[in-house]
């Protein structure tokens, strides 16, 4: 059984588990009234009709990814005849497991946020500072795992330029990168099917990149998550029968960021995550410009009709399907550019 056959089976199994689990999870979430509170001030007014749609559907791909990624890895070891008496041969597994735990821990933070929203019957979950504090703790642990079991490099690799070793400052610099990117993925979850589709593309791109840089073991995780996202989309494409919630988007954010940092190709991470980065940047630009114009002219002005930027396109007449397709195509283009940087720089 070839390595790619194992990966395809892993991805297919994850797709089936995620898709089938929705048959049981969605009615259960309805039963316990875990519906998503909707604030029309944070999105178009017509999103009000989505009020009460079950949230925390991210459990579909979280469960499928964790189960199939670990199973796929051990099948990979068994079929490739890795020397299990060599302790260092387990390091790739520890790295992958560290990425899974890192993603799951962010998913737990998202779950706490979702549960708080549902319990309060409004859209106010954890405070921003509570989220950041929890995310920092988890991020420090993840960076420690990377350093201890695999990547000890502390330089920034942009392909065309590589910085000198930064020592401890590298990890200090990576902390805000993790916080920004994970929350950027969270912001991308604002249109039915958008975050799942863009992340499906990102995981396929990362699979190719992991193969190029000889980190085959990580593809068990990327392919499992790609399959899980696809299974979840059966329930999340417009009109969504279930939302992933912060439970799912935080998991996806940590997964994207974690794989990128494990590969230690920062330009690649920038390109693969560029759709998410632009989403979050649009919010920063909008808020900054509004505050600046309000202070200078006494009245706040906006650059975009609404942010994150997918809402700008929605307010401009784009259907949710068109936004998903457009953003996913952009993800493919940026991802292919990332692959090219690995092959040429």
Task: Identify which of 246, 212, 6 has the alpha carbon closest to the alpha carbon of residue 113.
Answer: 246
Contacts of 124 (CB under 8 A, 6+ apart): 116, 117
Q: Is 214 left (phi over 0), alpha (psi -120 to 50) or beta?
A: left
Which residue, chain included where needed, has tokens 């990117």?
A: 181
Contacts of 223 (CB under 8 A, 6+ apart): 7, 8, 10, 11, 14, 72, 203, 207
Task: Identify which of 312, 313, 328, 226 has the alpha carbon closest to the alpha carbon of residue 276.
Answer: 328
Helix (H) or strand (E) holding 222: helix 216-236
Backbone angles phi, psi at 160, to 5 degrees: -80, -10
Between CA 101 and CA 264 the distance in angstroms is: 19
Long-range contacts of 315-322 (CB under 8 A, 24+ apart): 315/44, 319/238, 320/191, 320/192, 320/193, 320/194, 320/238, 321/193, 321/237, 321/238
CB contact at 8 A, 247 and 65: no
Between CA 21 and CA 60 the distance in angstroms is: 6
Any binding-site annotation on 246? yes
Distances (CA, A) of 337 to 170, 211, 252, 256, 324: 25, 16, 22, 17, 20
Q: Is 121 left (phi over 0), alpha (psi -120 to 50) or beta?
A: left
Helix (H, G, I), strand (E, B) or coil at 35: strand
Where is the binding site, in residues?
186, 246
Where is the binding site for Mg(2+), in residues?
186, 246
């Amino acid at each position: 059984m070839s390595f790619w056959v194992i990966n395809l089976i892993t991805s297919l199994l994850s797709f089936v588990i995620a898709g089938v689990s929705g048959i049981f999870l969605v009615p259960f979430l309805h039963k316990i009234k875990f519906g998503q509170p909707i604030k029309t001030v944070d999105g178009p007014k017509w999103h009000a009709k989505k009020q009460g749609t079950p949230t925390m559907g991210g459990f579909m791909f979280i469960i499928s990814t964790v189960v199939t990624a670990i199973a796929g890895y051990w099948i990979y070891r068994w079929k490739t005849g890795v020397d299990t008496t060599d302790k260092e041969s387990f390091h790739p597994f520890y790295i992958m497991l560290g990425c899974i735990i890192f993603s799951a821990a962010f998913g737990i933070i998202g779950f706490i946020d979702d549960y708080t929203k549902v319990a309060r019957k409004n859209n106010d979950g954890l405070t921003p500072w509570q989220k950041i504090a929890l995310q920092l703790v988890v991020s420090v642990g993840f960076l420690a795992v990377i350093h201890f079991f695999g990547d000890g490099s502390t330089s920034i690799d942009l392909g065309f330029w590589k910085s000198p070793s930064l020592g401890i400052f590298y990890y200090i610099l990576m902390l805000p990168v993790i916080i920004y990117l994970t929350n950027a993925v969270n912001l991308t979850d604002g249109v039915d099917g958008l975050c799942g589709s863009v992340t499906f593309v990102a995981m396929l791109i990362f699979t190719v990149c992991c193969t190029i840089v000889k980190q085959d073991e990580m593809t068990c995780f990327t392919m499992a998550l790609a399959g899980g996202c696809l299974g979840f989309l059966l329930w999340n494409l417009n009109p969504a029968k279930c939302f992933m919630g912060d439970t799912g988007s935080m998991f996806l954010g940590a997964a994207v960021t974690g794989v990128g940092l494990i590969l230690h190709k920062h330009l690649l991470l920038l390109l693969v995550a560029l759709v998410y980065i632009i989403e979050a940047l649009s919010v920063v630009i909008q808020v900054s410009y509004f505050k600046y114009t309000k202070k200078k002219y006494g009245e706040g002005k906006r650059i975009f009709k609404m942010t994150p930027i997918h809402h700008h396109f929605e307010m401009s007449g784009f259907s949710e399907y068109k936004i998903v397709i457009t953003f996913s195509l952009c993800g493919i283009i940026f991802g292919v550019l990332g692959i090219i940087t690995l092959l040429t720089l």
